[in-house]
């Protein structure tokens, strides 16, 4: 069944007036389920799981079309993943409804120096129930695009202005090798989601996201170089071991 990012990609493709050609990628046929060459398909390894937290991806105009996008990996792993395209002039009514849903506590995940100090938090509310009913589930709002796009989304999305800004402490460097940012402290979207899952108590999901990114990167680069996949390598072994722990 297509997930939220896959559906957003299909909707964006339907509006395109010409085919999307990824820069630096291979031009051969791609699997519709994982965006890789069929010979290097990742679909059988998809480790979907239920989590306490959900993820809401607000994506730049062509981000869902890029084969190297890692928001897609989040949707592969986290069952409650939502995806919306960003527009400067209007907000998707379904996005506004999600952010207002009383079952969720949204957190905009962004560096704290770009927000008023009173909005910035570094932890997530614990899962204890209150006298009014069950505790709200964390909903991590990730701005998925280039760094310049992310800052624009953060500044110009008025519907995000009243939400707390989650600014996790970064204790690691990026392992992402499919695009160059020039800075080790700029994590890719799935790495940010992994940090957020750790904060929400979804430790297994955090580990699986990291392992799945490593496997995806291996498949992607092997396909690009027309080399076979090493299914017995460390990345695959780790993902299999973690996936076996899912309830």
Q: What is the pLDDT of residues 122-137, one digit of tens each?
A: 999 887 755 666 789 9
* 8-state DSSP, 142: E
Residue 72 resides in a domain? yes
Give how far Cα 210 sits from Cα of 56, 77, 89, Å.
18, 11, 35
Question: Is 241 among the domain residues?
Answer: no
Residue 227 lies in a domain: no
Q: For residue 116, is it within any domain?
A: yes
Average per-residue pLDDT for the chain: 89
Residue 56 has pLDDT above 70, yes or no: yes
* Residue 183 within a domain: yes
Q: Which residue has the higher pLDDT, 67 or 170?
A: 67
- pLDDT tens digits, one per residue of 148-190: 999 999 999 999 999 999 998 776 667 776 765 554 457 899 9
Q: Which domain holds residue 147?
A: 4-9+47-120+133-201
Pairing of strands 104-109, 137-144: parallel
Whether 60 maps to a domain, the answer reads yes
Backbone phi, then psi, for 58, in 5-degree steps? Answer: -110, 115
How many domains are contained in the chain?
1
């Amino acid at each position: 069944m297509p997930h939220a990012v896959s559906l957003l990609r299909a909707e964006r493709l339907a509006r395109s007036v010409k085919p999307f050609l990824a820069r630096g990628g291979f031009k051969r046929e791609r699997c519709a389920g994982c965006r890789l060459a069929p010979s290097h398909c990742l679909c059988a390894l998809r480790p979907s799981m239920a989590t306490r937290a959900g993820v809401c991806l607000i994506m730049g105009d062509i981000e869902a079309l890029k084969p190297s996008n890692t928001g897609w990996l989040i949707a592969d792993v986290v069952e409650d993943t939502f995806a919306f395209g960003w527009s400067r002039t209007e907000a998707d009514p379904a996005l506004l409804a999600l952010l207002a849903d009383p079952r969720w506590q949204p957190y905009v995940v962004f560096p704290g120096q770009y927000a008023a100090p009173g909005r910035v938090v570094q932890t997530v509310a614990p899962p204890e129930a209150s006298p009014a009913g069950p505790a709200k589930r964390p909903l991590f709002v990730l701005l998925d695009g280039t760094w310049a796009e992310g800052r624009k989304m953060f500044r110009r999305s008025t519907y995000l202005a009243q939400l707390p800004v989650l600014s996790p402490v970064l204790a690691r460097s990026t392992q992402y090798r499919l695009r160059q940012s020039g800075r080790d402290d700029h994590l890719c979207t799935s790495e940010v989601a992994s940090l957020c899952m750790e904060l929400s108590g979804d430790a297994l999901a955090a580990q699986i996201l990291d392992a799945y990114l490593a496997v995806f990167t291996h498949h992607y680069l092997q396909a690009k170089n027309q080399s076979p996949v090493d299914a017995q390598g460390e990345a695959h072994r780790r993902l299999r071991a973690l996936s076996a722990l899912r309830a």
